[in-house]
Amino acid sequence: MSAIKAVRQLKEDLLKQQAALPGDGRNEKILDILQRLEKQKIDLAVLTETLIGASVSKLKKHENAEIANTAKGLVKKWKGVATQAQAAASGGGGKAASKSDSNNSTSSGGSAKSAPSSAKLKRLSSAGSSELSADAEFVGLPPHRINICKKFHTIFLMSKNELSKELNEAAVGQLCISRAAEVDAAIDTWSKGMKPTYMEKVRSLVFNLKKNGPLREQVILGQVSGDRLTRMSSEELLSEEKAKERDETVKNLQDSRRLDWDTANEKKINEMCGIKGDLLKASLFTCGRCKSVKTTSTQKQTRSADEPMTVFLNTLTSQHLTMTEATATAMKCAPSKNLNVGFPHFATGKEMYDYLREITKPGGEFVVRNFVGVIEDFSVASCTVETELFPLGALEYYTKKNMGWDYTAEEKEKWQMNVRGGAQGDYRDGMQKKIANVIDCLRTEPLSKRAVIPIPFSTEGSEMADWTDQGQNKCCRELHLYLEDGKLKCTGLVRMQNANIMTKNIHFFATLVNHVAKELGVEVGEYTHWITNLCHDRTATSC
């Protein structure tokens, strides 16, 4: 095996070990390769052809001291080989020059033109000067290609000083010559002998190689072949600075076409404008009630088209939902005046239940007309009133059924009894759609009259309303939900209420209102219960 082939193989092995993950004896393998390189007979030709010096030079700063010292020794040794070769070439040239001068002085009638000048011989023998070597490398090419080779050679020499810091200067000079010829040959092959195509590619590569120093060095060191260089795109030929500049231009162009640019760059905009802390949650609108600027807003055309749009504000700190005209400079919360303050108020649903039982007990008034009462705590816990007729299981089954939620056959069989109220208390028909409508209304049009749960004059499965059917005359007629003081409140209108089964109604109503409040992200306020006909139990009337 020739020395060049052996060194190339060792170089490949070395590069593989350098790229491998640490461990598994990697350092030992690298050291073994370096020791084998020490045993190789390496001259200037081997160093120039294989560029083994560049690969080993990278190991001089290796973390392993033994590897670093071995690499330093090899590089120093090979620099000596290159220096000796240069000195030998210079010495040979000097002898040739002396011999030529001697012959010229002793030969009678000799012409001065027949012998080369000493200056020319010096250039021929100097390893640092490659002018005549380049001419020899490019001999045989068409004149225009020779000029192109020289142009590439000149460009590659721009990197000679930088590369000579790690590599032998003479070897780098020789590489510049051979790479220039290689690039020219690759362009000629790529252009298929067509001169216009050839010249166009030459102009492109000359321009980019002048600007791109790292690429120029990669070509000289053989990391990028002439064939690969010829096929590189304009983006690949760009220098790192030019590539970054181009990427920035492309990004700016793309950003200018984005409709969501402000959203995507919101953080950057805030930083540039000095918006931070609580100001990040501030908006252009101020809540008229709490004066907070931490609000979100939406606009709706709630009136005729020629009227200004209405702005709905949601105060993030206290969940106030207010509205104002879009033309107003100061936002004001929706005004309201609730007259239920004049009615009896009960802390919990249990207190109201006890009161209704008391005023309708036998011996008292037979029927109570137009009762209105207010439950202040309308949580599900407050409105869970267990009685002998309605234990917890019965209350939960009744609520699940009317909410349109799933329940088991066992629950139905165990808890559904006529004595607890029949078809008149069955409100489930379309309930899920009604609840969804209320949620949508309160989010977009909180003052709309459609935020209600209507109880139609029908029953589940009936094709038409039968006014004579007792079951279709529902006890509850409507639940009206509304936002007031930042809370969700409700008013229930009940046509007929038996006090002893009222507990199931308020459990269901409380569950529904709390479900809607959770979807809206607001607190639950008071509930107003309006009864047109109130009896003690089902024995008081035919219902």
Per-residue confidence in pLDDT tens, the chain, 543 aa = 578 888 888 888 888 888 777 777 788 888 899 998 888 888 888 887 787 887 888 888 888 889 889 988 988 888 888 778 767 766 654 444 444 444 444 443 443 333 333 333 333 344 444 554 666 667 667 888 889 998 999 999 998 888 888 788 888 888 888 889 899 989 988 988 888 899 999 999 999 898 888 898 889 888 888 899 999 988 888 888 888 888 888 888 887 777 777 778 888 887 887 777 766 666 667 776 676 777 777 777 776 777 777 777 777 665 555 555 433 333 333 556 677 777 889 999 999 999 988 888 765 456 888 899 999 999 999 999 999 888 999 899 989 988 989 988 888 888 877 667 665 567 777 888 999 999 888 887 766 677 888 876 555 544 555 656 555 566 777 899 988 888 889 999 988 878 888 898 899 999 999 999 998 888 999 999 999 888 877 665 544
Q: What is the pLDDT of residue 347?
A: 93
Q: Name residues whose C-beta falls within 8 Å of residue 73's C-beta, 6 or more positions apart in sequence.
A: 38
Tokens of 247: 């990427």
Q: DSSP for 66-113?
A: HHHHHHHHHHHHHHHHHHHHHHHHHHHHHHHHHHHHHHHHHSTT--GG
Amino acid at 509: F
Task: Give the pLDDT confidence score for residue 102 in this predicted structure.
Answer: 44
Residue 495 φ/ψ, nearest 5 degrees:
-75, -45
- In angstroms, the CA 310 to CA 299 distance is 6
One DSSP character per residue, 149-207 reads: HHHHHHHHGGGHHHHTTTS-HHHHHHHHHHHHHHHHHHHHHHHTT-HHHHHHHHHHHHH
Domain 3-97 adopts which CATH fold? Transcription Elongation Factor S-II; Chain A (1.20.930)
Q: What angle do CA 134, 140, 146 make, to 5 degrees?
A: 50
pLDDT at 141: 78
Sheet strands side by side (includes 487-498): 345-346, 368-375, 523-535, 487-498, 476-484, 452-454
**Would you state the pLDDT for residue 120?**
35
Helices 169-191 & 143-156 angle (0-180, nearest 10): 140
Crossing angle for the helix pair 213-220 and 143-156, nearest 10 degrees? 110
Sequence-separated (6 or more) residues with CB below 8 Å from residue 396 = 411
- What pLDDT sits at residue 382? 92
Q: Give yes or no for a contact between 429 and 460, defined as CB atoms under 8 angstroms apart.
A: yes
Distance, in Å, from the CA atom of 368 to the CA atom of 356, rounded to the nearest integer, reads: 9
Show Cβ contacts of residue 430 under 8 Å, excluding neighbours closer than 6 positions: 456
Q: 338: which 2 tokens?
A: 């609730």
pLDDT value for 116: 39
Pairing mode, if any, of strands 487-498 and 476-484? antiparallel
- Domain extents in the chain: 3-97, 131-240, 277-335, 343-460+469-535
* pTM of the full structure: 0.41
Per-residue burial over 449-465, b if 16 or more Cβ lie within 10 Å, else e, is: eebbbbbeebbeeeeee
Residue of 159, 154, 222 lying closest to 186 (CA atoms):
222
Residues 361, 363: Cα–Cα separation, whole Å: 6
Look up the CATH number of domain 343-460+469-535. Answer: 3.30.572.10
277-335 belongs to which CATH class? mainly beta
Of 110, 206, 191, 95, give the one whose Cα is nearest residue 152. Answer: 206
Contact 30, 14 (CB under 8 A): yes
Q: Residue 377: its pLDDT value, please?
A: 94
Closest to 321 measured CA to CA, from 330, 331, 309, 329: 331
> For 464, which DSSP code?
S
**Kind and range of the H or E element at 136?**
helix 131-137
Instruction: Give the integer Cα–Cα distance in Å for 8 and 39.
Output: 14
Q: Which residues contact 199 (CB under 8 A, 6 or more apart)?
A: none
Which two structure tokens, joined as six digits, stand for 228? 């690969």
- Specify the length of the chain in residues: 543
